[in-house]
Structure 1
Amino acid sequence: MTLERWTTRAIDQLSGPTREAFVLDPIETIRSMGISVRAVDSLAESRQDGGMCDGVSYLSDGVVLYAPTDGSRRENFTVAHELGHWLVEHDDAILDWVANRDESSVALETLCDRIAQRLLLPDDLIDSIVSNPVRAQNILDLYAGSAASRPAAAIAVASRLKGLGAIVIIDRPSRSITSSSVVPDPELGWPKIYPWRGQQVDAAHTLVHMNSGDSLTRRSFWRSSWDKREDFYIDAVADDRRIYAVLADADLWKVEPMPVLTDRAWDTRLEGSVFCCGMQRAVRGYPCSKCQQYFCPKCGNCRCTRERADEELCITCNTLTRSHLLVNGQCEMCA
């Protein structure tokens, strides 16, 4: 079976009323199942890469711990992920599937992430809220109608976007993109110019001049950091803190009576994935010629450089040795 079917099988262990309650109050719903759920501040202090230490389960004891996130719904995804572990543990067939994967730990975490997403934002809820064509207001409506975070709601809206486009959330004071979900063209792949997380939006862009409560739908542009630009159709809304925007290659909202088609530059680099810095990451580029692994977009390492980073020269014989095997700077042969 596919990952999607295993996800469905895991979720089907929960009754319909339990799944419905989980959408609005994940923590209390898990507690109603007899599982203890507690916030632990020390988990927040020891986070790595924004998510690796957000939660931990002691399933045999029926306990889930999570890092509290004041003013955010991040913790809801954390507890949903830990419930995913609980559901997997209660189905031998799913456990067998995970154990038979080449990278079983990655498969398990990926499966639990998918379970969490489906629990917080089930397909029927998305279908009932997201319009056709999608609109920026759908993000706010989905956020208001669930316990999911704004980025999770944006990802869900992006899943209903047809053709090339992107869903972005922009922090108004800094003009920085805090969330970006890009949908590549189904045939041509990724464009060379698209919004990415952490990018600061051009000060001249009409989006950053929106005030709280404003909305707009128009043809505009997106500019890369090297000053190249491409046209996009944009639908956007703003609240007190953020701007939510849908970018589309096609004129989904009938902005122009006769849309003018323009040539777009496409990224021809290879697509792949790499497990590094605590998580599986999608990457574009070319793998290392030696280890054939893609370079991590966070730390820049492939398998070769990551292994070399963990080695030091023995101060006596100058032999490369794993750092943890050195004693006072010497390898075991010289110590």
Structure 2
Amino acid sequence: MTRLFEPRAVPRTSADPDIMIETQDLSRTFGSVRALDSVTVSARRGTVLALLGHNGAGKTTLVGILTGSLPPSSGRAAVAGFDVTEQPQEVRRRIGLTGQFASVDGKLSGRDNLVLIARLLGAGRKAARARSDELLELFALQEVAQRRAGTYSGGLRRRLDLAASLVGHPEVLFLDEPTTGLDPASRLTLWEIVEALVADGTTVLLTTQYLEEADRLADHVTVLSAGSVIASGTPAELKARVGRRTVTVTMGGAEDTGAAVAALRRAGLEPMAAPEPHSVVVPIEATKEVASVIRALDQAGIEATELSFGEPTLDDVYLTLSGQRPEGLVPSLSGGPAT
């Protein structure tokens, strides 16, 4: 794939060429408010780093520093190997940014938006049109390419906005809550596009309030609360660290439910009430304990109408680590972020 421009050969500040995002003890204050407090994160080439946290946790502030729109108060940060404070132009040459709201010009057509951005990046007319057509095809926007962007649905505008952020072939893509307000189908489409970009070597920093989004896309998750990192690891590591597997057992009626609770307790298990009627949830440490649940019910002569196995979620992680309701965090695909 031909680049619109080739960045100049400039000495990098990072020794490891595969480290594409790196901060060390990064802090930012606004008056007496400490928005970021000694934040250290890193992401390797071709991976997704998700920043997870409630509204006001510091996610957007961190993105602002990494993209050069905010200076840090202390600490250091580098993107694509270049210091964001000392080499901001080199950083900007190598990044793309999609925010919470579409930033394309609603008065221009989808194609004209992309051509304009390519021209501003220094491409000639022919190269700009070619890159525009390439992105319109990638994002399945050919049929609406000649329509004004202001007439697009929310999902189409977000796809055009993401296409616009890719015009210059960025090495690092910042997605600041990119699926906020989208319907489930549009959200899934964007997830698939992001996965394809990462498979092609793009590094992505994703801020999100959708727990399922982080669980699906992220190679590494950093949990922020009140400007500080409270946990960091792969989704699996975080869930194993603070979550427990569960077995949910559903019985035919209230009488069976009470008997099941007693039988499970006699077996040394700790059944808890479930939101569903006539159901109990049994925390377990390992999958082999599912057999203990079934055996306890069988010995008591209780027949379950349904039995399901559940893994811990990032919702469990956040609740355990922060000790609070995850305001603004959305555990399922059907919901939307709190306002």
Could you tell me the TM-score, scaled by structure 2's length? Answer: 0.28
Q: Which has the higher contact order (CA 8 A, sep 6+)?
A: 2
